[in-house]
Chain A
Amino acid sequence: MSVKLESVEKSFGATHAVAGVDLDVRDGELVAVLGPSGCGKTTLLRLIAGFEAPDAGVITVGAEVVADGARAIAPERRRIGMVFQDYALFPHLRVRANVEFGLSRHGADERAALSKRTLELVSLQHKADRYPHELSGGERQRVALARALAPEPAIVLLDEPFSSLDASLRAELRREVELILRDAGATALLVTHDQEEALTLADRLAVMRDGALVQVDAPEAVYSRPVDRWAAEFVGEVNVLPGMARAGKVATDLGSFAAPAVEDGRRVHVAIRPEQLELRRDEHGNAEIVQREFRGHDVLYRLRHEEHRTVIVQLPSVDLFEVGESVFVRPVPAAAAPVVE
């Protein structure tokens, strides 16, 4: 089911946690809210769940207005499924009882069938009689997910669901969780400060800053066409270059980029991603390699450009450059660098 937020506001004392947010999560869609810690994204989630009441604005779940600034429906009547950062599994209940916790209005047979089906969905049917403390971190998370999915909620809300897992486990579980959510046909809203997580998982990405959404778009669009310099720098690594607009192009130290909408003579900044630059060995090149960060499948170079600018370049790790080497740096032929400032 869809979820709609219109001009939602929430303050705590003088802190404007959520400042006029509009967001539309469509049926079956997986949307990630990405922002630095303290940007208000968890508050946004709690407003939808009903643990906080908005000061103003309207929140609609499906066809029902659940909060409109004058009154707020209690969380237990909203049909939301929440997955908490610490999972919040009931320590005194076995896995099955945890999953069945939200099914008390169903008959016993239906309850058993639903919990069995949901546990199968997360591949934990064989651990149904365990207690939460007997499970691994990844298993606990799948139980939390199963518990949230079992009552067939209108929307699943996930609050930094991978943050308490080991880095090695995170990528694997991310994929798994995505598959489970898609299998269940769930509408989901995920909150995270991890850009990689948001980029890989979401159908759409909402970038949040200081309580407001600065950009809502497909992950690839947010990455390749950030609306401003902050969004460009927050989502991935980037070189921000100053330049002058002339005849639909912006001329920078590293070359010219198409910028049709900018009037001639304006000073602007463009953002170019490190993988959109290439290097060539050249004794009389325009840059020198000052640092090399070997990452396995690729390498990140930090260069000092002749205009005293630091430039970062990311290349596959097939042909390695040495620190101190003189190189010529330029954009790859198809490079596009959006104007961000």
Chain B
Amino acid sequence: MELATANRGRQFRGRVPKRPDGWTVVTLLIALAVAAPLLVLPASFIVAPDALGDFAGLLPEAVGATALLVAGVGIGTLVLGTALAALVCFYDFPGRKAIEWALVLPLAMPGYVFTLFLLGISNDSGLFAAQLRSPFGAIVVFTLVLYPYVYLLGRAAFLAAGGELIEAARGLGLSRVRAIARVAVPLARPALLGGVALALMEALADFGTVNLLGVQTFTNAIYKIWFGAFDRDAALQLATMLVVVTLTLLAVERIARGRARYATGGGRGRAAQPLRLHGLAAFAATALPLALLAVVVGAPLVQLGAWSVESIRADTLPPEFLVSARNSLLLAAMALVIIVALATLLAYGRRASRSRVTRGSVRLATIGYGLPGSVVAVAVIVPLGWLDHRLDDLAGVGLVLTGTVIALFAAYSVRFLALAFQSVDSGLERVPRSLDEAARGLGSDRLDVLARVHVPLISTALLTAALVVFTEVMKELPATLLLRPLGGDTLAIAVWQATSESLYETAALPALAIVLVGLLPVALLVRLSRTMSRT
């Protein structure tokens, strides 16, 4: 594979002829399949320049609501995540170790499930009904379920560096609190910013929460135009705008991540010695995070459990529940096989081939990361629809791609391939290349190396990737909603549908199932980082 570069060098007698590089072809094909839908998005502006004109009223509202949401969730997650990270890193109080890990649990709570919980109790008690169904309500929901992104990255940054600098600042006469505020937090700024960008990408991608709370953001507008007006071009144009916003955030996150590495890379990092709190301060330090967790995780789980029991007792559970549970499991299981396989091929291709095409393909194949499911859904429909009609013309088989689960898998692949790739690739990167060569030297061909060296060594990474994809597909709402075949409801759709019809008890059981499955990767994450911090 190095021959490509060698051939550009001097002219030699009897050069090795350039062979086609299988890995380059494979990665390029995956990249094109995954990225093509996103590349066609902007084309809608050329095909139908005035499409959005019919919905001129929707656009200002969508822009306004989205901007408000971005500002509110940005500030909310930044403040809450930073405060919590600083608390567990710089102070010691009863139960700190347990709280430190428990604070990531809200990651398992999809926004629409938390919304279901809030709407349900508001409905029961008659409190906050108006406040909840507003941008303000959405901001509160997103802040409470998305702050862990800021918390996790901020915590890592606080632990990686800061100890010596805080001591230096205190030596210069600053109090502990001021030293944290003036040294540790600015030092962690890139990490915190990266966390906020991730949280905002999640908030922008959300459809369930804003739809249930009636906030007219981009995702909601896309859904309306798609299902209400069936105007494909207008939906595509809105989606394109949303992609631009998301890609901007992604760029911010990438840059912040690069800076974060720089900021913590210099010198040997040492965490600050946490200060032991006493009395009221210690009580508050334990009680406040616990209260937060009780609101975001504990109470919803208990309440959902209670409603589930009620719905079973009252026999109000729709008969489709089992069907949607089966659909969810099947979809998630099949998607994980497809996506982990694609991610493994991609990671393997990058390892085997050093060509520029391969590297570019890998980047292209993972740009779907963080893109809203609704955007991905409307995007995959275009090329799939085109292909479908060509196929129908050729073979007369009817529409086999767009009306079936194939479209769903295409959307899931676009959206979740990056997640799976990240895990598999980092696992594979930890396997030194000399192991491949050692095995080859000992008589193993490529397949044998894969089976006897790579698979055993990256099994944890594969498992993580599989688990992440599985739970993401389980909770995925907008893409599934837009692309599902007739009668193909999933648990997520069941939750959304029942909640939007104010049938909160009916929604509880499927919601509970989603949250419990979602706890798996969070638990794995905690376990992995614990073993890592131990070694």
Contacts and interface: CB of A to CB of B under 8 A. Distances in A.
A333 interface: no
B443 interface: yes
B441 A55 contact: no
A74 B440 contact: yes
Contacts of A90: 435, 438-439, 453
Contacts of A56: 12-15
> Which of B2, B17, B438, B444 is the most central at the interface, judged by chain A CB atoms within 10 Å of its CB?
B438
B444 A76 contact: yes
A72 interface: yes
Given A49-B441, A88-B434, A90-B435, A11 B14 contact: no
A104 interface: yes
B6 A12 contact: yes
B441 A80 contact: yes
Given A56-B12, A84-B434, A86-B434, A76 B6 contact: no
Interface string B434-470: 1101111111110010001100110000000000000
Contacts of B533: none
Contacts, number: 103
A53 B17 CA distance: 11
Contact of A76 (B8, B9, B13, B443): B443
Nearest to A101: B442
Nearest to A147: B442
A50 B2 CA distance: 13
A13 to B, nearest CB: 5
A70 B437 contact: no
B10 interface: yes
A101 B452 contact: yes
B9 A52 contact: no
Contacts of A11: 6, 9-10
Contacts of A50: 440-441
A86 B434 CA distance: 8
B12 A69 contact: yes
B443 A82 contact: no
Interface in B391-443: 432, 434-435, 437-443
Nearest to A13: B5
Interface string A42-79: 00000001111111100000000000111110111110
B433 to A, nearest CB: 9
Interface string A6-17: 000111111010
A76 B445 contact: yes
A148 B439 CA distance: 10
A81 B437 CA distance: 11
B456 A51 contact: no
A88 B9 contact: no
A308 interface: no
Given A55-B6, A84-B434, A88-B435, A76 B441 contact: yes
B10 to A, nearest CB: 6
Contacts of A69: 12-16
A211 interface: no
A71 B6 contact: no
A251 to B, nearest CB: 45
Contact of B441 (A72, A81, A105): A81
A89 B441 CA distance: 13
> Which of B3, B434, B452 is the most central at the interface, judged by chain A CB atoms within 10 Å of its CB?
B434
A92 interface: yes
Given A11-B6, A12-B6, A76-B445, A51 B16 contact: no
Interface in A84-132: 84-86, 88-92, 101-102, 104-105
Contacts of A10: 6
Interface residues of B, number: 30
A74 B8 CA distance: 23
Interface in B1-31: 2-3, 5-6, 8-10, 12-17
A151 interface: yes
B443 A105 contact: yes
A13 B9 contact: yes
Contacts of A70: 14, 16-17
Nearest to B457: A92
A88 B438 contact: yes
Contact of A86 (B16, B17, B432): B432
Given A82-B438, A86-B434, A53 B16 contact: yes
A333 to B, nearest CB: 51
A11 B8 CA distance: 9
Contacts of B440: 50-51, 74-76
Contacts of A105: 443
A303 B15 CA distance: 54
B432 A72 contact: no
A164 to B, nearest CB: 12
Nearest to B438: A88
B81 to A, nearest CB: 36
B6 A88 contact: no
A82 to B, nearest CB: 4
A61 to B, nearest CB: 12
Given A12-B6, A55-B9, A101-B442, A71 B16 contact: yes
A105 B445 CA distance: 13
Nearest to B442: A102
A75 B17 CA distance: 18
A2 to B, nearest CB: 19
> Which of A16, A71, A76, A80 is the most central at the interface, judged by chain B CB atoms within 10 Å of its CB?
A76
A88 B434 CA distance: 6
A14 B12 CA distance: 13
> Which of A55, A89, A92, A102 is the most central at the interface, judged by chain B CB atoms within 10 Å of its CB?
A55
A51 B437 contact: yes
Contacts of B12: 9, 55-56, 69
A86 B12 CA distance: 33
Nearest to B452: A101
A72 B16 contact: yes
A90 B3 CA distance: 28
B15 A55 contact: yes
A207 B419 CA distance: 50
A240 B264 CA distance: 50
Contacts of A14: 9
A71 B15 CA distance: 9
A112 to B, nearest CB: 17
Nearest to B8: A13
A147 B438 CA distance: 9
Contacts of A151: 442-443
A104 B443 contact: yes
A102 B16 CA distance: 29
B436 to A, nearest CB: 9
Contacts of B2: 12, 52
A252 B440 CA distance: 56
Closest 4 CB pairs of A and B: A102-B442, A88-B434, A69-B14, A11-B9
Given A13-B6, A88-B434, 14 more contacts: A10-B6, A51-B440, A68-B14, A69-B15, A74-B440, A77-B443, A82-B438, A84-B438, A89-B438, A92-B456, A101-B452, A102-B441, A102-B444, A148-B442
5 contacts: A16-B10, A50-B440, A56-B12, A76-B442, A81-B441
Interface of B: 2-3, 5-6, 8-10, 12-17, 432, 434-435, 437-445, 448, 452-453, 456-457
Interface of A: 9-14, 16, 49-56, 68-72, 74-78, 80-82, 84-86, 88-92, 101-102, 104-105, 147-148, 151
